[in-house]
């Protein structure tokens, strides 16, 4: 996990130096879902504002008036992070089905694929890309003619991305986090200039569920070979439509920077654990990470069976277990065909009502505790 100081430096750096570049050539305006694509075409406003104004009328408040939302302030988006200490635990399956459960009941849902190194949520549902942008950072370029070899930049770089060789400073591009500190401390006006580096892309698309209901999806995709995945994930989360009543993030597995970036700012986390000794080992790490971030958490045990130690450990730790979804070969077969298990096996959907109820209870408890 990223140390807090470094994470803060990076967050501050990102806000100062991150850039988004419109990739209008990737947009498909033939959306069958709704008018979001049309409103996104209003070039007089920044993209974020255009998206918001397209979705705001008749959003969550309207649904709440129909009595479907009773548990929280309908003007606030509930951000749910689906995370796991271990890859292959079923996190994506659970994120998808939970999103579908909310969408079926009239919630305005946005799915965020925060697994930027291997995003695959979009493979499960037909969708239309309505906006795409590059995520870029400003990296330093050293002009050897003007470098006086004082070493100030090397000493100031928190990421060891600069070094001296041959009496001049050099940049190790792959380590640079684009924070801009080196340019600030350099005593020479002309020794350091900055150039834009593409670190990934963010796409926003409209997706259609099997019953025809539409939702939004944002996908973070890191450029292969770069280490700036957290910046790309943060950009995708920021690009999510703000009028959604529910935001579900499919986080990167593990407990490193990418997982932390997906969880940051979430209202609650659902940690998916496989019912195996490996699953339990990695769940402990994920719980530690989530508690360090101060995010309320609960657990879903996936592919549960004879190994009961995961549930027992959660009980010992006073962690709520929202559901124990049994191992089912049929679910794995549907998943392997790239479809939603709940579409072919309607009984499977019952677990997601249970998980929703558990999230409501968790959030009620947190609200009561914070009063």
Closer of 159 and 335 to ligand SF4 (Cβ): 159
How many helices and strands in the chain, by DSSP H and E?
14, 12
Per CB under 6 A, which of residues 82..101 are in contact with ligand SF4?
none
CB of 202 to ligand SF4, least distance (A): 22
Q: Which is nearer to ligand SF4, 190 or 309 (CB)?
A: 190
CB 264 within 8 A of CB 234: yes
Taking the C-alpha atoms of residue 96 and residue 121, their distance in angstroms, rounded to an integer, is: 8
- Nearest approach in angstroms of CB 232 to ligand SF4 is 16
Judge whether 166 and 149 are in contact, CB under 8 Å.
Answer: no
Residues 36 to 65: which contact ligand SF4 by CB under 6 A? none
C-beta closer to ligand SF4: residue 192 or 217:
192
Among 52, 90, 56, 92, CA closest to 74: 56
Closest CA to 127 of 206, 220, 32, 209: 206
Is 140 within 8 Å of 168 (Cβ atoms)? no
Which CB atom, from 159 or from 307, has the smaller least distance to ligand SF4? 159
- CB of 172 vs ligand SF4, minimal distance in Å: 8
Q: Length of the chain, please?
A: 371
Least distance CB 159 / ligand SF4 (angstroms) = 4
Nearer to ligand SF4, 171 or 259 (CB): 171
In DSSP terms, 194 is beta-bridged to: 140
11 versus 285: smaller Cβ distance to ligand SF4: 11
Tokens standing for residue 197: 């580096």
Subset of residues 6 to 35 that bind ligand SF4, contact rule: CB under 6 A: none
Which one, 191 or 234, has the nearer CB to ligand SF4? 191
Are 248 and 230 in contact, with CB atoms under 8 Å apart? no
Residue closer to ligand SF4, measured from CB, 61 or 185? 185
State the binding string over 223-252 for ligand SF4 (x if CB under 6 A, else -).
Answer: ------------------------------
Choice between 186 and 244, CB closer to ligand SF4: 186
DSSP state of 178: -
Q: Which is nearer to ligand SF4, 232 or 269 (CB)?
A: 232
Site for ligand SF4 in 267-296 (CB under 6 A): none
- Taking residue 53's Cβ as centre, other Cβ atoms within 10 Å add up to 14
User: From the CB of 321, what's the least distance to ligand SF4, in Å?
Assistant: 42
Query: Whole-number minimum distance, CB 119 to ligand SF4, in Å?
Result: 26
> Which residues 112-141 are close enough to bind ligand SF4 by CB under 6 A?
139-140
Residues 145-204 within binding reach of ligand SF4 (CB under 6 A): 147-153, 157, 159, 161-162, 169, 171, 176-182, 185-188, 191-192
Q: 137: closest CA among 311, 17, 317, 223?
A: 17
Cα(117)–Cα(125) distance, integer angstroms: 19
Give the count of alpha carbons within 13 A of 40, CB side only.
Answer: 26
Asked if 257 interacts with ligand SF4 (CB under 6 A), we say no
Strand, helix or coil at 122? helix
Smallest separation (angstroms) from ligand SF4 to the CB of 157: 3
Closest separation in Å from C-beta 255 to ligand SF4: 23
**Minimum gap (Å) between residue 162 Cβ and ligand SF4:** 5
Residue spans of alpha helices (H) in the chain: 4-17, 36-40, 47-55, 60-65, 91-104, 152-156, 181-185, 229-239, 257-263, 277-292, 309-316, 329-336, 341-344, 350-370
- We find the least distance from the C-beta atom of residue 198 to ligand SF4, in angstroms, to be 15
**CB contact at 8 A, 171 and 1:** no
* Binding site residues, ligand SF4, CB under 6 A: 139-140, 142, 147-153, 157, 159, 161-162, 169, 171, 176-182, 185-188, 191-192
């Amino acid at each position: 996990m990223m140390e807090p100081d470094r994470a803060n430096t990076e967050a501050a750096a990102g806000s100062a130096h991150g850039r988004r570049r419109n990739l209008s050539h990737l947009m498909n305006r033939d959306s069958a879902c709704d008018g979001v694509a049309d409103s996104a075409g209003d070039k007089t406003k920044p993209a974020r504002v255009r998206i918001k104004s397209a979705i705001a009328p008749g959003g969550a408040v309207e649904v709440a008036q129909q009595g479907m939302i009773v548990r929280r302030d309908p003007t606030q988006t509930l951000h749910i992070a689906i995370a796991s200490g271990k890859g292959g635990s079923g996190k994506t399956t659970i994120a998808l089905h939970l999103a579908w459960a909310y969408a079926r009941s009239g919630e305005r849902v946005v799915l965020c694929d925060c697994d930027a190194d291997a995003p695959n949520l979009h493979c499960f549902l037909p969708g239309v890309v309505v906006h795409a942008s590059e995520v870029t950072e400003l990296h330093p370029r050293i002009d050897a003619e003007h470098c006086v070899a004082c070493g100030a930049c090397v000493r100031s770089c928190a990421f060891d991305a600069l070094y001296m060789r041959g009496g001049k400073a050099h940049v190790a591009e792959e380590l640079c986090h684009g924070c801009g500190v080196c340019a600030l401390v350099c005593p020479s006006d002309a020794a350091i200039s900055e150039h834009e580096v593409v670190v990934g892309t963010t796409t926003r698309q409209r997706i259609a569920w099997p019953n025809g209901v539409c939702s939004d999806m944002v996908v973070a995709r890191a450029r292969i070979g770069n280490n700036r995945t957290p910046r790309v994930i943060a950009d995708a989360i920021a690009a999510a439509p703000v009028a959604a009543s529910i935001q579900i993030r499919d986080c990167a597995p593990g407990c490193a920077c990418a997982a932390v970036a997906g969880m940051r700012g979430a209202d609650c986390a659902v940690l998916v654990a496989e019912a195996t000794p490996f699953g339990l080992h990695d769940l402990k790490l994920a719980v530690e990470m989530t508690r360090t971030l101060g995010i309320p958490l609960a657990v879903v045990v996936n592919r549960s069976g004879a190994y009961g130690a995961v549930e027992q450990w959660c009980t010992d730790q006073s962690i709520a277990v929202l559901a124990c979804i049994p191992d089912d070969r049929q679910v794995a077969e549907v998943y392997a065909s790239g479809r939603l298990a709940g579409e072919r096996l309607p009984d499977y959907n019952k677990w997601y009502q249970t998980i929703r109820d558990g999230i409501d209870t968790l959030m009620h408890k947190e609200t009561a505790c914070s009063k």
